[in-house]
A and B are shown apart, each in its own frame.
Chain A
Amino acid sequence: MMRLFSASLAAMIMATPALAQDHTQMDHGAHQMPAAQEAEPEVDHSTMDHGAMGHGQPASPPNSLTGPANAADAIWGADAMRPSREALYEEHGDMQIFWFQGDRMEFRARDGEDGYLWDVQGYYGGDIDKFWFKSEGEGSFGEPLESAEVQALYSRAIAPFFDLQAGVRQDLTGPDRTHAVIGIQGLAPYMFEVDAAAFLSNKGGLTARIEAEYDQRLSQRLILQPRAEINLSAQEIPELEIGSGVDNIELGLRLRYEIAREFAPYVGIEQEWKLGGSRDFARLAGEDSSVTNYVVGVRFWF
Chain B
Amino acid sequence: MIKSNLSLSRRRMIGSLAALSGLAALPMPAWSMGKMGGPVRKGIHELSGAKIDLHIADGRFATGGRSGHAIAVNGTVPGPLIRLKEGEQTILSVHNMLDVDSSVHWHGLLLPFQFDGVPGISFPGIKPGERFDVPLTPRQSGTYWWHSHSGLQEQVGHYGPIIIDPAGPDPVQYDREHIILLSEFTPMHPHAIMKKLKVGEGYFSMQKTSATDDYPLSAEERRMWGRMRMMPTDIADVSAPTYSYLINGHGPEDGLELPFTPGERVRLRIINGSAMTFFNVRLPGLSMTVVQADGQNVQPVEVDELQIGVAETYDVIVTPTEAGAFAIAAESMDRSGMAQASLTSQPGREAAFPALRDPPLLSMVDMGHGSHGGGMDHGSGEAEAAEPMDHGKMDHAAMGHAMPEAAPADAHSGHDMAAMDMSGGMDMRDTALLPASVKTGPGIDMVAMNPQDRTGYPGLGLDDVPHRVLNYRLLKSLEMDHHKRAPDREMELHLTGNMERYMWSFDGRKFSAVGDDPIRFGYDERVRVKLVNDTMMAHPIHLHGMFFELVNGQGHYQPKKHTVIVQPGSSATFDVTTDEPGDWAFHCHLLYHMHAGMMQTVSVAFPGGAA
Q: Is B200 an interface residue (CB 8 A)?
A: yes
Q: Is A8 an interface residue (CB 8 A)?
A: yes
Enumerate chain A residues within 8 angstroms of B525, measured Cβ to Cβ.
61, 64
Q: Which B residue's beta carbon lies closest to that of A74?
A: B611
Q: How far is the CA of A76 from the CA of B117 in the complex (A)?
A: 13
Contact pick for A72, options B122, B195, B436, CB 8 Å:
B122
Q: Which A residue's beta carbon lies closest to that of B194?
A: A95
Enumerate chain B residues within 8 angstroms of A75, measured Cβ to Cβ.
114, 123
B555 touching A36, Cβ below 8 Å: no
A61 touching B488, Cβ below 8 Å: yes
Once A19-B375, A66-B605, A76-B123 are accepted as A-B contacts, the answer to whether A33 and B473 lie under 8 Å apart by CB is yes
A81 touching B412, Cβ below 8 Å: no
Enumerate chain A residues within 8 angstroms of B554, measured Cβ to Cβ.
34, 38-39
A97 touching B388, Cβ below 8 Å: no
Contact pick for A191, options B229, B438, B520, CB 8 Å:
B229
Q: How far is the CA of A92 from the CA of B208 in the complex (A)?
A: 29
Closest-CB distance, A135 to chain B (whole angstroms): 18
Contact pick for A50, options B120, B398, B555, CB 8 Å:
B398
A42 touching B520, Cβ below 8 Å: no
Closest-CB distance, B555 to chain A (whole angstroms): 6
A43 touching B611, Cβ below 8 Å: no
A301 touching B200, Cβ below 8 Å: yes
Q: Which B residue's beta carbon lies closest to that of A63?
A: B522
Tell me the interface secondary structure of chain B in the complex.
loop
Q: How far is the CA of A48 from the CA of B395 in the complex (A)?
A: 10
B513 touching A93, Cβ below 8 Å: yes
**What's the tally of chain B residues with a CB closer than 8 Å to chain A?**
122
Name which of B118, B211, B435, B442 has the most chain A CB atoms within 10 A of its CB: B442
A15 touching B372, Cβ below 8 Å: yes
Q: Which of A31-52 contact B (CB under 8 A)?
A: 31-48, 50-51
Contact indicator per residue, chain A 47-69, by CB within 8 Å of chain B (1) or not (0): 11011011111111111111111
Q: How far is the CA of A52 from the CA of B497 in the complex (A)?
A: 29
Contact pick for A53, options B208, B226, B490, CB 8 Å:
B490
Name the segment of A152-160, A240-248, A281-289 touching the other chain: A152-160
Q: How far is the CA of A55 from the CA of B397 in the complex (A)?
A: 10
Once A51-B395, A81-B120, A189-B228 are accepted as A-B contacts, the answer to whether A69 and B516 lie under 8 Å apart by CB is yes
Q: Which B residue's beta carbon lies closest to that of A52?
A: B398
B552 touching A217, Cβ below 8 Å: no
A50 touching B520, Cβ below 8 Å: no
Name the segment of A82-90, A109-117, A202-210, A266-274 touching the other chain: A82-90
Contact pick for B229, options A86, A90, A128, A187, CB 8 Å:
A187
Contact indicator per residue, chain B 479-497, by CB within 8 Å of chain A (1) or not (0): 0000010111111101000
A23 touching B490, Cβ below 8 Å: no
A54 touching B436, Cβ below 8 Å: yes
Q: Is B322 an interface residue (CB 8 A)?
A: no
B125 touching A67, Cβ below 8 Å: no
A160 touching B211, Cβ below 8 Å: no
Q: How far is the CA of A14 from the CA of B106 in the complex (A)?
A: 42
Enumerate chain B residues within 8 angstroms of A92, measured Cβ to Cβ.
510-512, 515, 594-597, 599
Q: How far is the CA of A217 from the CA of B206 in the complex (A)?
A: 11
Once A50-B394, A63-B609, A80-B124 are accepted as A-B contacts, the answer to whether A39 and B388 lie under 8 Å apart by CB is yes
Once A71-B581, A83-B124, A157-B442 are accepted as A-B contacts, the answer to whether A89 and B520 lie under 8 Å apart by CB is no
B391 touching A38, Cβ below 8 Å: no
Q: Which of B563-611 contact A (CB under 8 A)?
A: 581-583, 594-597, 599, 603-606, 609, 611
Once A40-B389, A84-B125 are accepted as A-B contacts, the answer to whether A8 and B384 lie under 8 Å apart by CB is yes
Q: How far is the CA of A58 from the CA of B229 in the complex (A)?
A: 34
Enumerate chain A residues within 8 angstroms of B490, measured Cβ to Cβ.
48, 50, 53, 55, 58
Closest-CB distance, B578 to chain A (whole angstroms): 8
Q: Is B386 an interface residue (CB 8 A)?
A: yes
Enumerate chain A residues within 8 angstroms of B444, measured Cβ to Cβ.
160
Enumerate chain A residues within 8 angstroms of B437, measured Cβ to Cβ.
56-57
Q: Is A173 an interface residue (CB 8 A)?
A: no
Q: How far is the CA of A218 from the CA of B210 in the complex (A)?
A: 5
Q: Is B379 an interface residue (CB 8 A)?
A: yes
Q: Is A20 an interface residue (CB 8 A)?
A: yes
Enumerate chain A residues within 8 angstroms of B488, measured Cβ to Cβ.
61
B555 touching A42, Cβ below 8 Å: yes
B435 touching A56, Cβ below 8 Å: yes
Q: Which A residue's beta carbon lies closest to that of B472?
A: A34
Contact pick for A61, options B390, B522, B528, CB 8 Å:
B522
Contact pick for A19, options B210, B383, B405, B511, CB 8 Å:
B383
Enumerate chain A residues within 8 angstroms of B500, measured Cβ to Cβ.
160-161, 187
Q: How far is the CA of A6 from the CA of B393 in the complex (A)?
A: 11
Q: How far is the CA of A172 from the CA of B230 in the complex (A)?
A: 39
Enumerate chain B residues within 8 angstroms of A218, measured Cβ to Cβ.
210-212
Q: Is A91 an interface residue (CB 8 A)?
A: yes
Closest-CB distance, A26 to chain B (whole angstroms): 7
Enumerate chain A residues within 8 angstroms of B473, measured Cβ to Cβ.
33-34
Closest-CB distance, B233 to chain A (whole angstroms): 11
Q: How far is the CA of A42 from the CA of B581 in the complex (A)?
A: 26
Enumerate chain A residues within 8 angstroms of B121, measured Cβ to Cβ.
72, 85, 88
Q: Which of B83-132 contact A (CB under 8 A)?
A: 101, 113-114, 118-125
A3 touching B390, Cβ below 8 Å: yes
A159 touching B390, Cβ below 8 Å: no
Enumerate chain B residues within 8 angstroms of A261, measured Cβ to Cβ.
196, 200, 203
Contact indicator per residue, chain B 354-387, by CB within 8 Å of chain A (1) or not (0): 0000000000000000111011010111011111
Q: How far is the CA of A191 from the CA of B581 in the complex (A)?
A: 48
B390 touching A33, Cβ below 8 Å: no
Once A35-B381, A56-B437, A71-B113 are accepted as A-B contacts, the answer to whether A93 and B398 lie under 8 Å apart by CB is no
Once A55-B400, A94-B512, A217-B208 are accepted as A-B contacts, the answer to whether A67 and B200 lie under 8 Å apart by CB is no
Once A33-B381, A40-B389 are accepted as A-B contacts, the answer to whether A160 and B489 lie under 8 Å apart by CB is no
Q: Is A11 an interface residue (CB 8 A)?
A: yes
Q: How far is the CA of A103 from the CA of B212 in the complex (A)?
A: 25
Once A19-B372, A189-B229 are accepted as A-B contacts, the answer to whether A43 and B487 lie under 8 Å apart by CB is yes
Closest-CB distance, A28 to chain B (whole angstroms): 7
Enumerate chain A residues within 8 angstroms of B119, measured Cβ to Cβ.
84, 87-88
Q: How far is the CA of A235 from the CA of B355 in the complex (A)?
A: 65
Q: How far is the CA of A108 from the CA of B374 in the complex (A)?
A: 52
Q: Which A residue's beta carbon lies closest to that of B488?
A: A61
Q: Is B35 an interface residue (CB 8 A)?
A: no
Q: Is A147 an interface residue (CB 8 A)?
A: no
Once A55-B435, A85-B120, A92-B597 are accepted as A-B contacts, the answer to whether A45 and B389 lie under 8 Å apart by CB is yes
Contact indicator per residue, chain A 194-220, by CB within 8 Å of chain B (1) or not (0): 000000000000000000000011111
Q: Is B349 an interface residue (CB 8 A)?
A: no
Closest-CB distance, B340 to chain A (whole angstroms): 24
Enumerate chain A residues within 8 angstroms of B556, measured Cβ to Cβ.
42
A161 touching B445, Cβ below 8 Å: yes
Q: Which B residue's beta carbon lies closest to that of A81?
A: B124
Enumerate chain A residues within 8 angstroms of B609, measured Cβ to Cβ.
63, 66-67
Q: Which A residue's beta carbon lies closest to that of B513?
A: A93
A159 touching B442, Cβ below 8 Å: yes
Contact pick for B582, options A22, A41, A71, CB 8 Å:
A71
18 A-B interface contacts by CB (under 8 A): A13-B405, A34-B473, A34-B553, A36-B386, A42-B484, A42-B486, A61-B525, A64-B520, A67-B605, A81-B124, A92-B596, A160-B501, A191-B229, A218-B210, A219-B211, A220-B206, A262-B200, A301-B199
- Nearest 3 CB-CB pairings of A with B: A88-B120, A56-B435, A34-B553
**In the complex, given contacts A67-B605, A81-B124, A93-B596, what are 6 additional A-B residue pairs having Cβ atoms less than 8 angstroms apart?**
A41-B555, A58-B489, A64-B520, A93-B505, A189-B228, A219-B211
Which chain B residues have a beta carbon within 8 Å of chain A's beta carbons?
101, 113-114, 118-125, 151, 194-196, 198-200, 203, 206-212, 223, 226-229, 301, 370-372, 374-375, 377, 379-381, 383-395, 398-401, 404-405, 408, 411-412, 429, 435-438, 441-445, 452, 456, 473-474, 484, 486-492, 494, 498, 500-501, 503, 505, 510-513, 515-516, 520-523, 525, 528, 552-556, 581-583, 594-597, 599, 603-606, 609, 611
